[in-house]
Amino acid sequence: MTTPLHRNPPFRAEHLGSLKRPQSLLDARYKENKSERELKPLEDDAIKEIVKTQQDLGFRGVSDGEYRRHMFWGTFWPSLDGMQEISNPPLDTFRTYVPDIAAFLETGHKPGESVYCVGKIKHTGVSTYVEQFEYLKTIVDKEKWGDIKLTITAPNWYHLRYVDGKAYPKSVYKDDGEYFKDVAEAYRVELKILYEAGLRNVQFDDPNLAYFCSEKMLEGWKKDTSNTVTADELFTSYIKLYNDCISGAPADMHIGIHLCRGNFVGSRHFSEGGYDRIATQLFTDLNVHTYYLEYDTPRAGGFEPLAHLPKNKNVILGVITSKFPEMEDKEEMKKRVLQAADVMAKGQGESREEALKRVGVSPQCGFASHAEGNLIDIEAMKKKLKLVREIADEVWPGEP
């Protein structure tokens, strides 16, 4: 899929979309409680600056840093007919062993809001993401609109977290199959709107799929007698759901998926476990172009699962942490990239050079999945991004 000096995503140097917000923007939103109308010009200015920063650092797949969002998933789900955001949701609706919910409870937090199905799900025909993309088009040269990356939330986000039977009313959907069918149709409409606006670079953000690597969650699943399917069966259903969501995407729309183990206040992660138990199905059955994978610490396991990545798919190696300011050793990171390529080459019967053609490098996750962001400041974030660019330049000279 990737060739030297290619103009299409993915790129050799990538980041995962969310970037640290300037403190002035955070203060305006959370301390001064400015209205959306008052916030917009402040957001516009901050986005202009962070886009310039990305371009100055040599990144092609620029984003708006998710500066208009409170959390990484944005506003897609509440905008759908049949979905309703509820404040202070009842705890008995959650699977408390799902890693992000467990992390909330372990730290004395409670989900402040969640979105529930209350009726038949249908896209309204109005995208809440497209305005974010349209603004980026005003500050990026037209010939580079296809580089712009927009991150969107996972189609399983408001399903896995809920106790079996709580994701939707039985009076509305008799089973997951009916529910997933309407979810997939809503995503197909969304992607069509975004494509018609000119978007060609989409990244799904999905910690949920990585949760199926967590032995702790899997043990919780087995003990939960209310579950009517096994974890493996649900994972298979999610792969099918994704494929249905993107089935109408045109061939020139790059679809990527980011798997990580979570970002929470204090740079906390949610889950641990290598990709081994899901790799074959994840890499061979899921119809995406690129996988953005966490690989900054041992919690994500080794590179061995990449042996299953087919020759027509790409991987972006998240070997640089976005959680803490300490800098990685560049030479060591370059060695890791080559180690991953060697695993891929051996698994698919190709040379290291051939395998490297479908590899890139990035931070392991976003810098600010939630607005407050990780324990790292903007200057340290820039140093991390600069390191990513330097690694890419030295492993793939002359490639974006």
- For 12-38, write each residue's pLDDT tens digit: 999 999 999 999 999 999 999 999 999
What confidence category does residue 284 fall into, taking pLDDT thresholds of 50, 70 and 90? very high
In a domain, 11, yes or no: no
The pLDDT value given to residue 103? 83
pLDDT band at 269 (very low <50, low <70, confident <90, very high): very low
Model confidence band, residue 163 (pLDDT cutoffs 50, 70, 90): very high
How far is 64 from 54, CA to CA, in rounded Å? 10
pLDDT over threshold 50, residue 258: yes
d(C-alpha 157, C-alpha 205), whole Å: 10
Say if residue 266's pLDDT is above 70: no
- pLDDT at residue 263 is higher than 70: no
What is d(CA 151, CA 129) in angstroms, rounded to the nearest whole number? Answer: 9
pLDDT at 267: 43
Say if residues 310 and 288 touch (Cβ distance below 8 Å).
no
Give the residue numbers spanning the domain of 348: 23-71+125-154+175-395
Least confident of 16-20, 302-306, 312-316, 373-377: 373-377
Give the other-Cβ count within 10 Å of 336's Cβ.
19
Question: Quick one: average pLDDT of 304-308?
Answer: 96
Q: Which of 153, 58, 60 is nearest to 115 (CA)?
A: 153
**Mean pLDDT, to the nearest integer, of 36-63?**
98
Report CA torsion sign: 323, 328, 330, 335. negative
The pLDDT score that the predictor gives to residue 191 is 98
Q: What is the mean pLDDT of residues 159-170?
A: 96
What sign has the CA pseudo-torsion 294, 295, 296, 300? positive
Between 386 and 323, where is the model more confident?
386
Split into its structural domains, the chain has a count of: 1
pLDDT value at position 272? 65
Let me know if residue 133 belongs to a domain: yes
Is the pLDDT assigned to residue 2 strictly greater than 70?
Answer: no
Is 166 a domain residue?
Answer: no
- List pLDDT tens digits, range 104-157: 888 777 788 999 999 999 999 999 999 999 999 999 999 999 999 999 999 999
pLDDT digits (tens, 9 = 90+) for 197-212: 999 999 999 999 999 9
Poorest-confidence range of 225-234, 236-245, 285-294, 296-305? 296-305
Q: Is the pLDDT of residue 320 over 80?
A: yes
Instruction: Calculate mean pLDDT across residues 237-251.
Output: 98
CA distance 383 to 370: 21
Would residue 160 count as lying in a domain?
A: no
Radius of gyration of the chain measured on its C-alpha atoms: 20
Q: Tell me, yes or no, whether 17 lies in a domain.
A: no
Please tell me the predicted confidence (pLDDT) of residue 49: 98
Indicate if the alpha-carbon torsion angle 339, 345, 350, 356 is positive or negative.
negative
Q: What is the mean pLDDT of residues 225-245?
A: 97
pLDDT score recorded for residue 260: 86
- What six digits make up the tokens of 269? 């992660």
CA distance 220 to 226: 11
Let me know if residue 351 belongs to a domain: yes
- The size of the chain, in residues, is 400
In a domain, 79, yes or no: no
Identify residue 62 by its one-letter amino acid code. Answer: V
Q: pTM here?
A: 0.95
For residue 173, with 0-12 CB atoms within 10 Å meaning exposed, 13-18 middle and 19 or more buried, which class applies? Answer: buried
- Is the pLDDT at 233 greater than 80? The verdict is yes
What is the CATH classification number for the domain harbouring 363? Answer: 3.20.20.210
Element (H, E) at 47: helix 36-56
- pLDDT at 7 (0 to 100): 57
Predicted confidence (pLDDT) per residue in 334-380, tens digit: 999 999 999 999 999 999 999 999 999 999 999 998 888 889 999 99
Adjacent-strand bridge partners of 255: 202
**What average pLDDT does the segment 294-305 reach?**
86
Asked if residue 329 has pLDDT above 60, the reply is yes
pLDDT of residue 313 exceeding 90: yes
pLDDT at 105: 83
pLDDT higher than threshold 80 for residue 77: yes
Residue 326 lies in a domain: yes
